[in-house]
Structure 1
């Protein structure tokens, strides 16, 4: 792997890693997450969600094969402990041991990385580099004891802006159980396999997909106001009830980029505002990918 292409990087200290180890590790995760882990190869990663029985996302993560009989899951640290505890409740007789491996790994966000198909995985010794949606974005996960990869330092603001502009948001502490996967375009980004077997919430996720009832979607906005994840969004034509919620955001040069789950009808009239109908005005921006039309 050519490190000269890694133009800028940030250690994501707010991310952690769960290890699933054992002969049944992939099969167990296959029954719990929204993606297919049974057929996961060593050249790809999986975007996946962990849902409640009602189809609401408890966590979102990226998974890949590590060593023998090992799956590693990288996810925001604020949802890791609860995810690990809940997953462990369902292991039962499966030959799978779950543990928090965060201290063993360093997770980096990269901008300017080689652009390949999203979720492509390249191995570099003990490190892996996973292409994310959006031009030149990647996650790199390596042993914590390894030197930082080559590249210029990047600010957390730069990374957060790039995440939001890519139309991608991770479940954070403030948004646990706030979304079914389609509300944050998770299936469009490769996070849901509708052909796999059952997992918690599978019936509701599938029903939302095939009955054409998707009334809320992730959209990208810009604003001059400061935003925070979990903050509500209001429409001037209906100021009494929220029209959406901030799922991801970042600020740079006095402007904030927001990835927000929004009621689609709220885009058809009135203006959108942050925090209240009198808050900062949101400017709707095109998504960097297409949303398939509903049947």
Structure 2
């Protein structure tokens, strides 16, 4: 643990944070309200479970452009984009949120896979004038959700990002508006530890502090997947709706797995998609297989992400055969496991119109 990280985590602990793990990378809640975190739809949360890779050098953009599913060369300074990193078989090794700073392209991803993904990307730099640096311990990332967040943030960002994936920079750091959830805006604030310590007492006067799971639940309700260690190489981008939410550019040049991703797109209907669900079980995790009652002998899909909800169960993003929802009940973990209840995502699934009408 670096001095930077230690300073920030010690500050949070003094302010009621309940830390999980030896490095404190999991903020499970705050002493005053962790039990209600799962019910919050407006909050501020520290996110030490997110990692950051900074790509620097004059060839950084062109190098990443040849590796990722989205256009990096034309990434603007006032925007952020989703992007995936695939194996040669077109299966996702990582999902990123990326944006530009004055001297780098930043890649945000789950911290648990960051070292391995960075190492793999570095292997392909070869002669390119590009360098990848782990800057996870040099930044504080805050997640803010709700209209109260929109009202509080202009104190540090007089010009606010007006739409999802717009980015604003100020002396207080970088503010990115990400996909909405709970019919409200969500933001990521990336800053230094000194600024974070100064703004935290002010923010928490109007926004309840929450743990990492509250932010993860908001990501789930926004329909934005994150590839985790247990789900690497499990999904073609379309299986987790990355083509729908702007994570794939089908007009850019080649990248690992591009032929398979493009073939899936151009040759017809996608038969597997990611859907929103809830389940009355507390042990559902990324990588948990799900089973259709009509086909109990083999899994019909997999949990992509999961986070606790207010009812003692979990809210999930589940990759599954689109026909499965109308063919019987879907169970988590085993053919006789807890039943998944499917809900509506905040965007349409063009290949599952019939399923969506049944959900609604």
Q: State the TM-score bracket (shorter-chain normalisation).
A: over 0.9
Would you say the 8 A contact 2:53–2:118 is kept in 1? yes
Equivalent residue runs for 1:18-167 within 5 Å: 18-68=53-103, 70-112=104-146, 113-114=149-150, 116-125=162-171, 127-134=173-180, 135-148=184-197, 149=199, 150-151=203-204, 152-167=208-223
Would you say the 8 A contact 2:46–2:211 is kept in 1? no
Matched, 1:211 2:267: yes
CA distance in 2, matches of 1:179, 1:43: 30
Q: 2:237 aligns with which of 158, 181, 185?
A: 181
Would you say the 8 A contact 2:81–2:97 is kept in 1? yes
Unaligned runs of 5+ in 1: 1-5
User: Which residue is equivalent to 1:246?
Assistant: 303
User: Which residue is equivalent to 1:3?
Assistant: none
Would you say the 8 A contact 1:18–1:74 is kept in 2? yes
Matched, 1:262 2:335: no
**Alignment coverage as a number of residue pairs:** 288
What do the CA deviations read for 1:55-97 (whole angstroms, capped 9, x no partner)?
Answer: 11001111111123x1111111111111111111111111111
Unaligned runs of 5+ in 2: 1-40, 151-160, 353-360
Task: Give the CA deviation at 1:120.
Answer: 0.9
Matched, 1:12 2:47: yes
TM-score norm. by structure 1 comes to 0.93
Instruction: Describe the SS at the equivalent of 1:146.
Output: helix
Task: Give the CA deviation at 1:46.
Answer: 1.4
User: Which residue is equivalent to 2:228?
Assistant: 172
Task: Give the CA deviation at 1:40.
Answer: 0.9
Q: 1:97 to 1:54 in 2, by over 3 A?
A: same
CA distance in 1, matches of 2:124, 2:335: 44
Instruction: Describe the SS at the equivalent of 2:307.
Output: strand
CA distance in 2, matches of 1:164, 1:278: 25
CA distance in 2, matches of 1:62, 1:293: 25
Q: Hey, which of these two has a bigger chunk of helix by percent? A: 2
What do the CA deviations read for 1:216-272 (whole angstroms, capped 9, x no partner)?
Answer: 100001121121111111111111101111111111222321111111121121101
Q: Hey, which of these two has a bigger chunk of strand by percent? A: 1
Instruction: Describe the SS at the equivalent of 1:212.
Output: coil
CA distance in 1, matches of 2:164, 2:102: 22
Would you say the 8 A contact 1:9–1:108 is kept in 2? yes
CA distance in 1, matches of 2:224, 2:105: 23
Q: 1:285 aligns with which of 327, 339, 343?
A: 343
